Chains A and B, each alone.
Chain A
């Protein structure tokens, strides 16, 4: 196993947040009763939004297509249950802005019946790798670790790149979350089946499953499942946040560093999340598209913490109610993990493909301290896994020196939050970075529009000049023609009879115009009528 380092490497920095995994690590994955309605957003993945292909009133089976992929980097979206399309409307979604997105609202019929046309393949190795990719694409499978990048793209490496290793990300380094650990304990054979399909699709010979050492049961279950299969290895990793970040995981396992702006495939590795492996197995072997996911519902504010299999489109409210509701001293609800998750403005928003957790945090669990000036202690520099200088980046963002930000490699930041976690001055560093990133993107859009404006303004001036020139040329031509006709005296009778009629018409029309302006006088109106009357037959 040449590519896998014999001794595990370390990535720079990292932090040790308290795990809090004991709240849910013994909670078996449980189903949830069917909610009253499901609100399925049409953009749950990285890339272009999906395009709705159903209409209000349509009856759908579970697994029917609701939204078609809207581009190459995009994903299809399917009906999470059978029922009727109630509406296609804007609804608030899990986004920091609190803005709305186009969603398909389904009223479940209670039967929860899969489309009978969905068929799986018992032996996926009989399928062509491209057929596997097409089915994964058609099933709308995206990275379930939270990044929601369309999975089929990561299974289609460019021809000039060699993939030495499939790395399964089962690190689950975010505190509180246990959904991946439970999945490995309960369905280890399905994880292995998913890995086999991916190895076949990639035509790769080796796989490593990376699991942090704080999940001994998951490690044991996976080791048992891969016993006797020399090409798949389970590696227990020392606990360190953010080890679940793709590039950090690759460095730990292989010792290779993914270059800035590069992709894992540049160093011969493809990384997929462990839950994605199971989703791929379900798609290929059962024919089921991605319509549900496992969500860890936890935190000090949840009455009954649990791991729940939730249909995509179920409202956070319904999930919390299923888990006994919120305790009264809950301070905030977070979608995702506590380090990188998103604090919700409201809880009537749907669970999407990237929702790994729903955390209800109490005041003691959440930070919310006031920001103090930077004391330049350098703690953030030591903690940054990318070896950036977070304090300088935050300073540039804070003082609106936006142009400086790309020079300090802002776009290499993975927003893991390690810097903000260790900052003794409670500076919301990640918030500054997000502000900086989006402001730069907005500026880029504006610059593009300015360039377009300049281009269109110039094009218009050129057009006007051209038109003027053309007009003048025509004028010259007409003059030349008239001159030629004047000199040609012999056949001028027709022209002479024609021209008085024209002039008569002009005067008649001029008359009506002044009349209407003067308004109401009888004789001119009559005059106009007669003028019209006389001019009509001639026309």
Chain B
């Protein structure tokens, strides 16, 4: 009887120590892929993808909870392609990427409710109560977080015009190339 108890107890102790040691020794600090993927995302935590922030979206993609890699609007086509390359999946169709855009408040329609100001994840909208608001173009990431809260639908996404200072050469052979 006593041998059995001792034997089982010893076995349990050995197994417990082994497991405890293994847990410490081979501890994994989360999934490193989540960190890598989060680094690709714009870090605005705008919630446009339907997740509370950039990291949760990365976690959802890694855990294969969802498969749509094209939900990050501020990241755009470029970020989607990077995610596709990292996860080894095919790039997906995104809402036609017609170049960079920014939010624009139609000031004559704005009632000054500050709803968009509260929604902006990068504090790129300025204005005060009952004063018309406006977007600081250089800081807008086009995450569209301000569109939904606006009660009078006075925010549009407008394309950023190409200027002499932002224009780039197209690659030789590409469409529109100048020789």
B179 within 8 A of A: yes
A-B CB contacts (within 8 Å), total count: 75
In the complex, the answer to whether B44 meets A453 with C-beta atoms within 8 Å is: yes
Q: Looking at the assembled complex, report how far the CB atom of A341 sits from the nearest CB atom of chain B, in whole angstroms.
A: 13
Given contacts A368-B179, A453-B43, contact A99 B168 (CB under 8 A): no
In A427-445, the 8 Å CB interface with B consists of 428, 431-432, 434-435, 438-439, 441-442, 445
In the complex, the answer to whether A428 meets B42 with C-beta atoms within 8 Å is: no
B26 within 8 A of A: no
In the complex, the answer to whether A435 meets B171 with C-beta atoms within 8 Å is: yes
Q: Looking at the assembled complex, report how far the CB atom of A475 sits from the nearest CB atom of chain B, in whole angstroms.
A: 20
A452 within 8 A of B: yes
Q: Looking at the assembled complex, report how far the CB atom of A43 sits from the nearest CB atom of chain B, in whole angstroms.
A: 8
Residues of chain A within 8 A (CB-CB) of B164 are 43, 93, 95, 97, 99, 101
In the complex, the answer to whether B172 meets A435 with C-beta atoms within 8 Å is: yes
Given contacts A95-B164, A99-B164, A450-B42, contact A456 B139 (CB under 8 A): yes
Residues of chain A within 8 A (CB-CB) of B66 are none
A460 within 8 A of B: yes
- A445 vs B166: C-alpha distance when bound (angstroms): 9
Q: Mark B135-151, 1 if CB is under 8 A from A, else 0.
A: 00011010000000000
Given contacts A99-B167, A457-B121, A457-B122, contact A371 B44 (CB under 8 A): no
B177 within 8 A of A: yes
Q: Which of B124, B164, B170 has the most CB of A within 10 A?
A: B164
B contacts with A, residue count (CB < 8 A): 26
Q: Looking at the assembled complex, report how far the CB atom of B177 sits from the nearest CB atom of chain A, in whole angstroms.
A: 7
B129 within 8 A of A: no
- A472 vs B138: C-alpha distance when bound (angstroms): 34
Q: Looking at the assembled complex, report how far the CB atom of B18 sits from the nearest CB atom of chain A, in whole angstroms.
A: 43
B109 within 8 A of A: no
Q: Mark B103-145, 1 if CB is under 8 A from A, else 0.
A: 0000000000000000001111000000000000011010000
In the complex, the answer to whether B44 meets A96 with C-beta atoms within 8 Å is: no
A343 within 8 A of B: yes
A454 within 8 A of B: yes
Residues of chain B within 8 A (CB-CB) of A397 are 171
In the complex, the answer to whether A457 meets B139 with C-beta atoms within 8 Å is: no
Residues of chain A within 8 A (CB-CB) of B172 are 371, 398, 428, 431-432, 435
- A456 vs B121: C-alpha distance when bound (angstroms): 8
In the complex, the answer to whether B168 meets A431 with C-beta atoms within 8 Å is: no
Residues of chain A within 8 A (CB-CB) of B168 are 435, 438-439, 441-442
Given contacts A101-B164, A434-B169, A457-B121, contact A343 B179 (CB under 8 A): yes
Size class of A's contact patch? 35 or more
- A261 vs B169: C-alpha distance when bound (angstroms): 23
Q: Which residue of B lies closest to A398 (CB)?
A: B171
In the complex, the answer to whether B171 meets A442 with C-beta atoms within 8 Å is: no
Q: Which residue of B lies closest to A455 (CB)?
A: B122
Q: Which residue of A lies closest to B161 (CB)?
A: A99
In B36-52, the 8 Å CB interface with A consists of 42-45
Given contacts A97-B164, A97-B167, A438-B168, contact A453 B141 (CB under 8 A): yes
Residues of chain B within 8 A (CB-CB) of A428 are 172, 179
In B147-169, the 8 Å CB interface with A consists of 162-164, 166-169
Q: Which of A97, A400, A449 has the most CB of B within 10 A?
A: A97
Residues of chain B within 8 A (CB-CB) of A442 are 166, 168
Q: Looking at the assembled complex, report how far the CB atom of B116 sits from the nearest CB atom of chain A, in whole angstroms.
A: 14
Q: Which residue of A lies closest to B178 (CB)?
A: A96
Residues of chain A within 8 A (CB-CB) of B122 are 453, 456-457, 460
B32 within 8 A of A: no
Q: Which of A345, A453, A454 has the most CB of B within 10 A?
A: A453
B173 within 8 A of A: yes
Q: Which residue of B lies closest to A437 (CB)?
A: B169
Q: Which residue of B lies closest to A432 (CB)?
A: B172
Q: Looking at the assembled complex, report how far the CB atom of B56 sits from the nearest CB atom of chain A, in whole angstroms.
A: 15
- A297 vs B179: C-alpha distance when bound (angstroms): 21
Q: Looking at the assembled complex, report how far the CB atom of B160 sits from the nearest CB atom of chain A, in whole angstroms.
A: 11
Q: Mark A474-496, 1 if CB is under 8 A from B, else 0.
A: 00000000000000000000000
A147 within 8 A of B: no
In the complex, the answer to whether A457 meets B45 with C-beta atoms within 8 Å is: yes
In the complex, the answer to whether B169 meets A456 with C-beta atoms within 8 Å is: no
- A43 vs B164: C-alpha distance when bound (angstroms): 10
In B20-36, the 8 Å CB interface with A consists of none
In the complex, the answer to whether A456 meets B162 with C-beta atoms within 8 Å is: no
Residues of chain A within 8 A (CB-CB) of B167 are 95, 97, 99, 438
Q: Looking at the assembled complex, report how far the CB atom of B112 sits from the nearest CB atom of chain A, in whole angstroms.
A: 20
Q: What are 29 A-B residue pairs whose CB atoms fall within 8 Å in the complex?
A: A93-B164, A95-B164, A95-B167, A96-B169, A97-B167, A99-B164, A99-B167, A343-B178, A345-B178, A371-B172, A398-B171, A398-B172, A428-B172, A428-B179, A434-B169, A435-B170, A435-B171, A438-B169, A439-B168, A439-B169, A442-B166, A445-B166, A453-B74, A453-B139, A453-B141, A456-B122, A457-B45, A457-B121, A457-B122
Q: Given A97-B164, A398-B171, A457-B44, list of 4 further CB < 8 A pairs? A: A93-B164, A431-B169, A438-B169, A460-B123
